């Protein structure tokens, strides 16, 4: 052992020193002891690697290290970050940011008690599943609706209710993995239904489904929206309307896993035509399922729309209890849905829609304003056009034109620079492309520009 490591003080000695008295006033003694032990272990390692120079300066130096550790322990594990990746529905970053109305509704209902499962008029037990139904019916024309935890749960619930122990026809072109472990064959088998593959990867005709039915004991057809990839070239698929006719003829259920719950007009968002839930219902599906936190722009939820007896059977399924939705989610979803009653309000107030609809000129102006004054002292910040994506397993192949800041720091690789930005307060999550760190203005709220400016300035002082 080197002499330097032998010179490390003991925990008791540190705790008795003057600078540690302040820490002991701010934190419980047990936590300070734990932090001091951990800090000493870290310092011992550093001294082993770097030698004498790694020893802190006096008791002050040790108290500083221990204080930093205690502060980092106090940070919540789950906390806000700035999304500069250009991916609007970034699953790892929490998908859709919520509108102010949704956030306020969630806070209000979380503050105290609510009529979650209570009917105020007769004054007695009610059902949590009534809460978003009227709005969902009004906005989509659905006869009935059911909200559960997420779309994966919605699909499992639908298949388990309608086809447990029996066959479900799925096109081989739709046996997809959506990401985050959602694989159609696995989900289907866990629902208790039996997968019956029909057609081929690129072509599945109505006749293939007919052959599938002829194979015996089929309860349902599952149609899955290929939401995160595209197949092109020599392709063919049976339309939802044709499948609906076949399903009625053969006495089967037709379930549509739509994925993203776009309710807004895709044209107003600059998106190509996307299938929407009302289209599925008009085509004649028995149930359509989609997420609350993709293009709908609300909290994590799974929404099922369809005929009343089908929804009622799902509500009565014990699995529905296991997938039941939280009061905060219902409050946030209801507030988000309400904003769709006025389509202009939805575009203005729901962040995911607002980001999609932001004109390129606005992004360019913000990029130029941020770049101005941010560069200097070893930091290079250049405004540049770029492309982002919708993300969240939606709109594959759709590039969103955007404006970015391309950042370089003298003496740091782009990966090191990106790491430093992620370690900031708040963390700033950016992409690395070529030799630059790229900040995409489309996914950054204009209200965050000032924070980004401060973060870059702080960083410039460090590298400068
Ligand atoms: C996203 C997606 C899912 C999973 O939805 P979650 O809300 O994340 O559970 C299922 N199916 C499709 C087609 C999807 O796009």
Query: What is the per-residue DSSP string for 340-402?
Result: TTSHHHHHHHSHHHHHHH--HHHHHHHHHHHHTTT-BTTEEEEEEEEEEEEETTBSTT--EEE
Considering only CA atoms, which residue is closest to atom 2 of ligand 1? 259
Q: Give tens-digit pLDDT for 385-422.
A: 999 888 877 787 888 999 999 999 988 999 999 999 99
Taking the C-alpha atoms of residue 162 and residue 271, their distance in angstroms, rounded to an integer, is 34
Nearest to 248 by CA among 223, 225, 275, 221: 221
Task: Report the sign of the C-alpha dihedral through residues 404, 409, 414, 418, in that order.
Answer: negative
* pTM exceeding 0.85: yes
Nearest to 66 by CA among 126, 100, 19: 19
Q: Do domains 82-91+356-463 and 98-349 have the same CATH topology?
A: no
State which of 89, 191, 256, 291 you would mutate to test the pocket of ligand 1, scoring each by most atoms of that ligand within 8 A of its C-beta: 291
Considering only CA atoms, which residue is closest to atom 15 of ligand 1? 259
pLDDT of residue 111: 97
What is the 86 CA–ligand 1 centroid distance (Å)? 20
Nearest to 129 by CA among 281, 327, 290: 327
Domain ranges of the chain: 9-74, 82-91+356-463, 98-349
pLDDT of residue 43: 92
What is the 126 CA–ligand 1 centroid distance (Å)? 29
CA 348 from chain center: how many Å?
A: 20
Q: Is the CB of 291 under 6 A from ligand 1?
A: yes
> Which residues, other chains included, contact 41 with Cβ-Cβ below 8 Å and sequence gap of 6+?
none
**pLDDT tens for the 464 residues of the chain, in order:** 457 788 889 999 999 999 999 999 999 999 999 999 999 999 999 888 888 778 888 899 999 999 999 999 999 999 999 999 999 999 999 999 999 999 999 999 999 999 999 999 989 999 999 999 999 999 999 999 999 999 999 999 999 999 999 999 999 999 988 877 789 999 999 999 999 999 988 899 999 999 999 988 999 999 999 877 777 788 888 899 999 999 999 999 999 999 999 999 999 999 988 889 999 999 999 999 999 999 999 999 999 999 999 999 999 999 999 999 999 999 999 999 999 999 999 999 999 999 999 999 999 999 999 999 787 778 899 999 999 888 877 787 888 999 999 999 988 999 999 999 999 989 999 999 989 999 999 999 999 999 999 998 888 777 66
Tokens of 340: 């769709």
Taking the C-alpha atoms of residue 326 and residue 323, their distance in angstroms, rounded to an integer, is 10
Q: Give tens-digit pLDDT for 418-454.
A: 999 999 989 999 999 989 999 999 999 999 999 999 9
Considering only CA atoms, which residue is closest to atom 5 of ligand 1? 151
Q: Is the CB of 151 under 6 A from ligand 1?
A: yes
Q: Is the CB of 329 under 6 A from ligand 1?
A: no
Q: Which helix (H) or strand (E) holds 407?
A: strand 400-409
pLDDT of residue 443: 97
User: By the 8 A CB rule, do 393 and 259 touch?
Assistant: yes
pLDDT of residue 463: 67
> Which residues, other chains included, contact 170 with Cβ-Cβ below 8 Å and sequence gap of 6+?
184, 188, 195, 196, 197, 198, 221, 222, 224
- Count how many Cα atoms sit within 13 Å of the Cα of residue 114 in the half-sphere of its side chain: 17
What is the 182 CA–ligand 1 centroid distance (Å)? 7
Number of neighbouring beta carbons within 10 Å of residue 39: 22
**What are the backbone dihedrals phi and psi of residue 182, each rounded to the nearest 5 degrees, phi first?**
-95, 95
Q: Which atom of ligand 1 is nearest to the CA of 226?
A: 13
Q: Determine the topology of domain 82-91+356-463 in CATH.
A: 3.90.1150
> Which residues, other chains included, contact 229 with Cβ-Cβ below 8 Å and sequence gap of 6+?
176, 396
**What are the backbone dihedrals phi and psi of residue 337, each rounded to the nearest 5 degrees, phi first?**
-60, -40
| CATH class for the domain made up of 98-349 | alpha beta
In the 8-state DSSP scheme, what is residue 284?
T
Q: Is the CB of 257 under 6 A from ligand 1?
A: yes
What is the per-residue burial (b if ≥16 Cβ within 10 Å, else e) of 345-380?
A: ebbebbbbbbbbbbeeeebbebbeebbeebbeebbe
Measured CA angle at 155 (ends 154, 161), to 5 deg:
90
pLDDT of residue 229: 72
- The CA dihedral of 70, 71, 74, 79, to the nearest 10 degrees, is -150
User: By the 8 A CB rule, do 153 and 171 touch?
Assistant: no
Q: Is the CB of 393 under 6 A from ligand 1?
A: yes
């Amino acid at each position: 052992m080197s002499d330097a490591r032998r010179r490390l003080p003991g925990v008791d000695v540190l705790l008795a020193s003057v600078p540690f008295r302040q820490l002991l006033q701010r934190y419980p003694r047990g936590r300070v002891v734990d932090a001091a032990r951990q800090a000493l272990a870290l310092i011992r390692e550093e001294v082993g690697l770097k030698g004498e120079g790694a020893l802190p300066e006096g008791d002050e130096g040790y108290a500083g290290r221990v204080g930093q550790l205690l502060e980092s322990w106090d940070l919540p594990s789950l906390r806000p970050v700035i999304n500069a990746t250009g991916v609007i529905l970034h699953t790892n970053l929490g998908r859709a940011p919520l509108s102010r109305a949704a956030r306020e509704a969630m806070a209000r209902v979380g503050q105290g008690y609510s009529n979650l499962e209570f009917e105020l008029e007769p004054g007695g037990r009610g059902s949590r599943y009534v809460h978003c139904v009227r709005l969902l019916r009004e906005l989509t024309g659905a006869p009935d609706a059911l909200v559960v935890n997420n779309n994966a749960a919605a699909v499992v619930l639908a298949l388990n209710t309608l086809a447990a122990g029996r066959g479900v026809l799925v096109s081989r072109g739709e046996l997809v993995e959506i990401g985050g472990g959602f694989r159609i064959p696995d989900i289907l088998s866990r629902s208790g239904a039996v997968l019956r593959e029909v057609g081929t990867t690129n072509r599945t005709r109505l006749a293939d489904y007919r052959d599938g039915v002829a194979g015996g004991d089929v309860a349902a057809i599952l149609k899955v929206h290929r939401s995160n990839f595209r197949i092109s070239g020599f392709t063919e698929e049976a339309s939802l309307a044709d499948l609906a006719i076949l399903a009625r003829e053969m006495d089967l259920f037709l379930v549509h896993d739509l994925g993203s719950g776009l309710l807004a007009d895709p044209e107003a968002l600059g998106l190509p035509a996307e299938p929407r839930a009302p289209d599925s219902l008009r085509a004649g599906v028995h149930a359509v399922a989609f997420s609350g936190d993709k293009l709908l722009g609300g909290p994590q939820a799974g929404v099922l729309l369809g005929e009343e007896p089908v929804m009622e059977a799902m509500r009565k399924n014990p699995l529905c209890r296991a997938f039941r939705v939280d009061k905060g989610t219902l409050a946030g979803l209801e507030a988000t849905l309400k904003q769709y009653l006025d389509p202009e309000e939805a575009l203005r107030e729901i962040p995911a829609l607002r980001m999609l609809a932001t004109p390129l000129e606005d992004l360019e102006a913000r990029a130029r304003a941020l770049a101005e004054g941010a560069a200097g002292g070893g930091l290079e910040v250049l405004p540049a056009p770029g492309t982002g994506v919708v993300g969240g397993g939606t709109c594959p192949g759709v590039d969103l034109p955007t404006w970015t800041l391309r950042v370089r720091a003298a003496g740091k690789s782009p990966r090191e620079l990106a790491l430093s930005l992620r370690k900031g307060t708040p963390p700033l999550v950016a992409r690395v492309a070529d030799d630059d760190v790229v900040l995409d203005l489309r996914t950054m709220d204009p209200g965050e520009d000032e924070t980004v400016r401060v973060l870059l300035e702080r960083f410039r002082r460090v590298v400068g």
